[in-house]
Structure formats: C-alpha cells, structure tokens
Amino acid sequence: MAILVGEEGRLFTLQTADGTYQMYADEKNVLLHTYYGKKIETENMAELICRTDVGFAGNPPEAAGDRTYSLDCLPQELPSGGVGDYREECVCIKHADGSLAADFRFAGYEVRKGAYKLPGLPALYDGGQESDTLVITMREKASDVTAYLYYGVFERENVITRAVRVENNGDKEIVLERCLSACLDFQYGSYDFITFCGRHAMERVPERTAIGRTKLEIGSLRGTSSHQYNPAVICCEATAGEEHGDCYGLCLAYSGNFLACAQMDQRGQTRALMGIHPGRFSYLLKAGESFDAPQVILSYSDEGLTKLSHQYHRILRNHMCRGAYQHSKRPILINNWEATYFDFNGEKILNIARQAAELGIEMLVLDDGWFGKRDSDYSGLGDWYVNERKLGGSLAQLSGKIHDMGMKFGLWLEPEMISEDSDLYRRHPEWAVRIPGREPNRSRSQLVLDLSRGDVRDYLFETLSGLLREASVDYVKWDVNRSTCDVYSNALGRERMGEVSHRLILGMYELLERLLTAFPNLLLEGCSGGGGRFDAGMLYYAPQIWCSDNTDAVNRLQIQYGTSFFYPVSAVGSHVSAVPNHQTGRITSFATRGHVALAGSFGYELDLNKVTEEEKELVKQQVAQFHKYNSLTREGDYYRIQAPGGRFSAWEFVDEAKEHALLTLVMTSAEGNPFPVHIAAKGLDPEKQYRCSVNGQVHSGRTWMNAGLTLARVPGEYESVLIEWEV
C-alpha cells in the first residue's frame, strides 16, 4: 500500500518507490508535517519536532499554559492566518463579521483507489489502479467551513500531488482572500531555491538562491503563468548537483496567476508554498458553495537534479498529457510566420507547401493573418471567418490542396483575444475585459476576451468547431499575445471581481476540453508569445508548447536547458529558422540549427523557396535524422551534460533499454590554440558494450561514462556534433 494509516487514524505515511511523506494529527488536532525525504518505515516522526518556549510565539487555547506549543513554530500541512502562525499562510478567510482568521483542525480522513479529479481543472490522471488518494478533512474551529486536503500518491513515479477544496457549510457568506495548494515545512537543513525566470524571447533561465530569512518569492499577476516566472521551483540542499543531493520539486498544474515562495523562520525552519497568487484575488463562497485550488505536483529525489527531472518528465508525459499524440511522433511542420509575417496570399502559401512536401516535411501551418480584416495586428481578432480575397478561395480549398500534396494542415488561432477594430467587438463590446469608465491598456493593439462568460465560450466553440470541421484542420497553434490587466467582467457582480482572473482560466480550460472532445485527433500546440504559458496545466490539453518566440539556436540552448528541469522534451516546440536570426541577428550553420531543434517537436520557420540547393539537401538529411532519432528524443531519458555558459553546451538522450544514446554538443565560443574537447556519456548500462559513432571504438558503458571521449577535432564556434552510442 502506498498510503499507510496508523495510530488510530491519526498518522499518515505516504510511500513512493524511493521516498516517504508523513503527517500526524496531534492531540490538539493540528495536522503536523513530520517528514518528507528518503524512504523510512512508518514510525511516527513527530518525535523530530523540538518544542521550546519561543518568545513572542503565542499559544492556542488548547495549549493550556504550555508555552512550548505554538502554531508559529510547528511544521504544518495547512497553515492558516490570523490565529497565531505569523509565517506565510496557505488560507485566509474573511468572515461575515469582517474578521480575517482561519484555524483548521483535523476531523477525519478517507483513502481511495485511483487519482482524484478537480472540477474544471487539469490534474494527473491514471487508469484507476496506478495511484492512491488520501483525503483529509479539516474543520475551521469557529465557523462552518471545511477544507479537504487531497494527496495523490503515484508510488512508482516518486510523485505526490496536493490540492485543497474549501466548502462553506454555514448559512453566511465568506470570502476566500487566499487559498494556496501546498505547503512544505522543512524542520532542519539549509536549502537553495531554484527558480526559472526570464522575459519574452528568453524564458525559463535557472536562478539559484540560498533560502534565508529574507523571503524569496516569484509569481505572476499577468493572467498567464508568464514569460517572467515559471510555476515550477526546486528546493534542494545547498550542495546538491545533477547526480547528488536531496531535491524537492513543486510544480503547479495551473496556467494563470500564481505564487511560489520560500523563507526560513526564526528557528531556522524553511517553509515553501505554492498556489494561486493572492494578489487581486478574492472568492465569494455563499452557503453551500465550494472552491477548488489547482494541483501541485511534488517530487523528491535523493540523487540530485537529474533524477528529479526524469521523474517529472515521466509523470507529465504519462499522466498529464493526453490524446492521440501523447506518445505519438508529431508531424514535421513548416510554419509560414517568419517566412511571410502578414504579407502572404494563397499562392505564396501553396508555394511554400509544395517545396516543403518535396523535402519530406509533413505539415503546413498557416499562421496569423488568414481571417477577417487582418493585415496587421491592429484589427480582426475575434472575427474567425476566412479572408477569401487574401487566400484566393476558402480555407477548405486551401486545406484540400495541401492535403492533396500528402501533407497535414495546421492553423494559428488566438481565441482568447479581441481587437477593438473587429466585427465581434462592434457587436459585443461588453465581451471585452475592461473596466467601465476607464480607458483600457492595450497590448499588441488588442484586448482580452471574457472567457468567464458562458455566452462567449459558446460563441467560440460554435465558430471554431465549424471552422476546424469545414477546413479539415489537423493541428492548431493556440496563441495568447498579451498579459491581462483592467480586470473586470460585465457578467459578474461587484462582489465577485476578485474571481475574474481565475474564472478566465477556468473558461479557457472548459473551451479547450469541449474542442478536444469534439476533435479527439486534433494536435494542439500551446503558445503565449512563445513560452509565456509553458506549464503543466496546459500540457493536459496541449501535448506540446511553443517553447519560445526566440528561434536563435544559441539562445535556445539556454531556454531549452531551463525548460528541461521539469518538462519533457516531447512537449518542447523547437524549429529551424532562417539566418540572420530574426530575433538576434546571429548566423549559425544550418546543421547546428537542426541539431538544436532535434531536442523538441521539430519543424521549420522559414521560406524554403529562399534556401540554397545545398540547404535543401540538409533539410532532407534533417528530416531523416528526425525520423531516426524521434522515439529516442521523444520518450528517452534526458541528461544535462554541460550547462550553457562555458565553451560548449551538451545534452544526451538514452532509450529505456539502454541500448542507444545520442549526445549533442554545440560549441558556443572559440579560442586560439584551443584546449581539447573531452566529454563523458551518462545513463549507459555499465556492463553493456557500445560502439561510438565518432571514432568507431567499442567500450563498456562504464568506460564511456567514466573515462569518456576526446574529440579528434575541436569544433569551431557555433558548430555542433552528434555523438551516438549503440550496443
């Protein structure tokens, strides 16, 4: 059993393959967090808690004069505000009398077989027999409010999930001012906080900071998980590296505003929390209403960051991604955006498709500009009807011609947005997110469409489903190109304005679910100006996400490196683009651009009619490479060999049977009289014999991993090398 209950239903030990998570409801019904780490037995680890009289740390009434018992010092599963724990809290409730307090105490539990579901929210799933669920009931001491704590245990995958449901069982309204999904209290040890930060076109750059008494906090109030901060963080031992040290991951399955923070308290204990950002958030719960907070996916590794990443790759690939393309090879695509931008017609698109088909590319994706009055980003969003004058016919006709070439047809959409210069806005200005009487902020000349409204979602579903069906669309690039502000909904009362940001995300999820139910074979790629909404929640609907609008191969080394800590390579949208690169102006070889793009879904962002004959031959070679290596890169274990920032960057894939490995090395700087390049493999079977592609030598896996390989020639700047080992 993965969930073990002891001490008359008060001690809960969650066991995974290599780890143990334990909590205990003490005699005062405070749910204590007692242990999370390397696997132990089921002894009650509450004995690790050292209670002393800490000055200015108050005591609850049940302490009866025992000054050593304080919520301000105890490790807890659901720390709440206003009742004596002065640290960061998970839950804050505003009661009918205006008071702000919540004191939840243990009231019972239930163990279930299978993974739990969250209404309207993405969550890890299973086949009903692969995981177990523990539900702990917590009751607020002074009101009729109940919190249900959900713990999902994926034993084999070393994953534990957490979520919270708050119910108002009283007859008076309450307002949730804060409802975070998970808290981890570490009683002992010193930890670093690894976050993944950046900006548009430079997302998910790792940043590692020691956790001290100054609070470390990242988050988003942009309406998306954002380019600036990713909703996945790591708490690890200060000495932890790729292959050693305790590492704890927290990954939020949510695509909107979020918060992740960590801080050491006055006694040297560390608290880490994650969930919906409380900024500008409030949620009214009338009698009988409930609120579900999104899922946090926890994972623990006692062998460093690589093992932690492997655990996240497997759980997200196998238990978050869904649909026909969950494990399937994705079609090699060509997207016309960087080839044409808005300047295209039907014949120009067909010419790109003809050349692509000749070179073995499998899908043409028509990007922005095919609909409504849309020759720039100033107009047209919301008018999802085809501009037949521009295309020289219907979308169905264009799609049919591309299908006749033996290719699939994909389409760019941005359904969550609306242009003021659009027929839709002129008909329904109340559908835009904007505050009455206040001039709205505009970004990319557009406003946000209010998907919290059922009538808006119905309009989009009917319009988009008709379009997808009529044009036989195989793939959709689902984009969102601005952050949300001026938050207001004409469909909700003033008392619910703090709910709008969350309801927008729920509306987006509901619309995606309806479309994917109607079109189960549709391949959906998530996008938000590139990587502005690259999170576990989106993977529930889109098995791949456009990693970044930055297609520069050298910048992509850093972007894809940071992405790899949590997200599987199968989810990474990565393409070969033209040079000089449109974002950086850098010139890199066609071969290097292809090698970098192999660590992703693979495709092209250029006009193949403008490349040389030599480059066309390279496209054919790259297409062949993709087919040769795709099962390895899509499903294999990923190893970070050398981080970007030095002479070179390198990464490796190893298949499950440990019979085939592929290492990619890209030189990022050149020197006169250079040192040799020496590199060692990872993840091979020590006992098996492998032949290396670059020198033909056969050695044991142990030798290749320990002694390594010296390249006969030092590659030049921005040159790349593929190194293959096969049994």
Residues annotated as catalytic are: 535, 615
- DSSP line for 202-228: EEEEEEEEE--SSPEEEEE-SSSS-SS
At position 352, the amino acid (one-letter code) is: I
| Residue 519, number of CB atoms within 10 A of its CB | 19
Tokens (6 digits) for 28? 């005062």
Contact 628, 641 (CB under 8 A): no
Of how many residues is the chain composed? 727
| Residue 248: closest CA among 166, 185, 294 | 185
Q: Match 């969950």 to its residue by tokens.
A: 326
679, 698, 723 from 709: Cα distances, Å: 5, 12, 10
R_g of the chain, CA atoms, integer Å: 27
Angle CA(163)–CA(169)–CA(173) in degrees, nearest 5?
100
- Residue 413's SS3 state is strand
Contact 378, 445 (CB under 8 A): yes
- DSSP line for 292-354: EPPPEEEEEESB-HHHHHHHHHHHHHHHT--STTSSSPPPPEEESHHHHTT---HHHHHHHHH
At position 209, the amino acid (one-letter code) is: T
Tokens (6 digits) for 633? 């890169």
- Residue 70's SS3 state is coil
What single DSSP character describes residue 431?
G
Contact 511, 461 (CB under 8 A): yes
Strands (DSSP E) found in 534-657:
544-546, 572-573, 576-577, 603-605, 637-642, 648-654
Cα–Cα distance, 202 to 177 (Å, whole number): 33
Residues ≥6 apart with Cβ < 8 Å to 437: none
Tokens (6 digits) for 648? 């070179």
Residues ≥6 apart with Cβ < 8 Å to 262: 191, 193, 211, 215, 216, 217, 233, 235, 270, 271, 272, 273
Contact 497, 547 (CB under 8 A): no
- Dihedral, CA of residue 115, residue 119, residue 123 and residue 129, to nearest 10: 20
- Residue 662's SS3 state is strand
Cα–Cα distance, 154 to 126 (Å, whole number): 9
Cα–Cα distance, 421 to 428 (Å, whole number): 12
| Residue 448, number of CB atoms within 10 A of its CB | 23
